[in-house]
Each structure stands twice: as C-alpha cells, then as structure tokens.
C-alpha cells in the first residue's frame, strides 16, 4: 500500500463512496490529478479488493476498502488532536501536517497516541474519531444553513478547509458553542446567530453556513 493509494481511498471515502457511487471526475478534481490517471489507479484498488468500479457509472468502496479508509481517518484525526491539544497549533494549520503524518503512522503508534491524548472521541474540527475496531458515531449532516430561525443548536463540526477555518476563527465561531439561530437573510445572505454564553450576535456568510454542522 502506497501513500497515493491511501489518498485515493480516503478521498473516495470522504466523497461518500461508502454508500453511493462516486464519479471519476469528483476524484480527479479533489486530488488534482488527471481523469485518466484516476481510472488507472482505481483499477489497482479494484484488483486489491478495496473498491468496486462500474465503468461509466462510478466507483464505490468494498467493506475492506471502507475498513482501511477508516484507519486512515482515525490516524488523521488523532494527529490533529495531538497538534492542537499538545503542540497548540491553530485549527486551520493542523490539516496539512496530519495529511502527511497519517501515511507513516503504524497501528502501535496511533494506539499509543490515542492513549496519551486520553482517548479523544472527536478531532478539533468536531469529526468523530473511529476507535481501534473502527466504531464511531456518525457525524451530523445538518448544516447551519439548513437550520430554521429560532432553532437552538450546538456547533458540532466544521469542514476541514483552511480558508473556511481562518474565516470562522476571525468571526470567533467555535466548536461546542450553544447558539440560537436568529435569521436567514435572502439572496444567499448571511445566517445570523446569537451565542448563548456571551450574547454575541454573529453573521455567518451563506457559504460558510453550508460548511458548519450543528445538532
């Protein structure tokens, strides 16, 4: 197993390849790799029993592929937790470091790290960390944009994107905050929320609101 194969596996997983079929183009765009190369690489994953591929229809993961992708997500998120908790990295900076560390992390290392960190259940962006056996609670899929005016919700999870995280940091929106949804402006305008603890009112841009998940 090579780092690149692992990246393919993880991106298919993240694009929803556990349930539906993911298109060649989605993968090519996400990894910034030519479509032809994707077809070829997917062929290898299929040979190794990690993915299923119906030509022209799409790609999905086998049980074995899902299992493998979960171990990668586990490593990635454990490292992110370590970087924030122990090395005091900022949220926007952890992703790129974890991205390379995850590929050189043995089972023993990730297990040791997990114990050292006190068995965290969620990464700093709010994503669930699969345990050693691959068990984890499903992440929320209700975005702030989906919520209704008047809803009282908790900020649960951010999409792990550098620019988004910089923006959220600027406007002081954090995981775990309990907020009240005040109003949705029309024409793709901001969603305004009020942080319960401080009474602070925050307008969250339309696009960002689609990348913040609540429960």
Query: Rounded distance, CA 76 to CA 197, Å?
Result: 31
Find the shortest distance in angstroms from Cβ 119 to a copy of itself. Answer: 14
Q: Where are the beta strands (DSSP E) in the chain?
A: 51-54, 58-61, 142-143, 152-158, 178-184, 191-195, 201-204, 212-214
Q: Is residue 46 part of the contact set for DNA (CB under 7 A)?
A: no
Q: Is residue 44 part of the contact set for DNA (CB under 7 A)?
A: yes
Which CB atom, from 41 or from 91, has the smaller least distance to DNA? 41
Collapse the DSSP code of 26 into the 3-class scheme (helix H, G, I; strand E, B; otherwise coil) and give the result.
helix
Torsion-angle region of 199 (φ positive above 0: left; ψ -120 to 50: alpha; else: beta): left
Tell me the number of residues near DNA by CB under 7 A: 24
Partners of 94 in beta bridges: none
Q: Is residue 2 part of the contact set for DNA (CB under 7 A)?
A: yes
Q: Binding segment for DNA among 50-58, 118-126, 145-153, 167-175 (CB under 7 A)?
A: 50-58
> Taking CB within 5 to 8 Å according to partner kind, which of a copy of itself, DNA, none is near residue 25?
DNA
Task: Pick the binder of a copy of itself from 19, 106, 138, 186 (CB under 8 A).
Answer: 106
Find the shortest distance in angstroms from Cβ 10 to a copy of itself. Answer: 16
Q: Locate 78 and state its tokens.
A: 């454990």
The CA-CA-CA angle for residues 215, 163, 119, to 5°, reads: 50
Query: Rounded distance, CA 41 to CA 8, Å?
Result: 8
Q: Is residue 154 part of the contact set for a copy of itself (CB under 8 A)?
A: no
φ, ψ for residue 85, nearest 5 deg: -75, -45
Q: Give the footprint of a copy of itself on residues 37-96 (CB under 8 A).
A: 83, 86-89
Task: Pick the binder of DNA from 16, 20, 34, 96 (CB under 7 A).
Answer: 34
Q: By the 8 A CB rule, do 65 and 51 touch?
A: yes
Residues that bind DNA (CB under 7 A): 2, 4-5, 23-25, 28, 32-44, 53, 55-56, 58
Residues that bind a copy of itself (CB under 8 A): 83, 86-89, 97, 100-101, 103-104, 106, 108-109, 112-113, 116
């Amino acid at each position: 197993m090579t780092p690149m194969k692992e990246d393919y596996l993880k991106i298919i997983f993240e694009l929803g390849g556990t349930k539906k079929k993911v298109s060649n183009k989605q993968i090519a765009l996400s990894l910034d790799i030519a479509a032809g190369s994707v077809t070829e690489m997917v062929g290898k994953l299929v040979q190794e029993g990690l993915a299923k591929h119906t030509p022209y229809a799409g790609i999905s993961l086998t049980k074995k592929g899902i299992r493998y992708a979960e171990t990668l997500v586990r490593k990635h998120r454990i490292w992110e937790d370590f970087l924030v908790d122990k090395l005091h990295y900022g949220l926007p900076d952890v992703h790129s470091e974890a991205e390379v560390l995850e590929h050189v992390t043995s089972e023993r290392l990730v297990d040791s790290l997990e114990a050292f960190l006190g068995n965290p259940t969620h990464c700093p962006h709010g994503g669930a960390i699969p345990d050693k056996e691959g068990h984890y609670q499903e992440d929320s899929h209700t975005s702030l944009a989906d919520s209704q005016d008047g809803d009282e919700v908790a900020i649960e999870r951010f999409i792990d994107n550098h620019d988004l995280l910089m923006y959220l940091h600027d406007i002081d929106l954090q995981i775990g905050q309990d907020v009240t949804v005040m109003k949705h402006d029309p024409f793709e305008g901001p969603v305004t929320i009020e942080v319960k603890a401080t009474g602070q009112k925050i307008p969250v841009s339309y696009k960002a609101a689609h990348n913040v998940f609540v429960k």
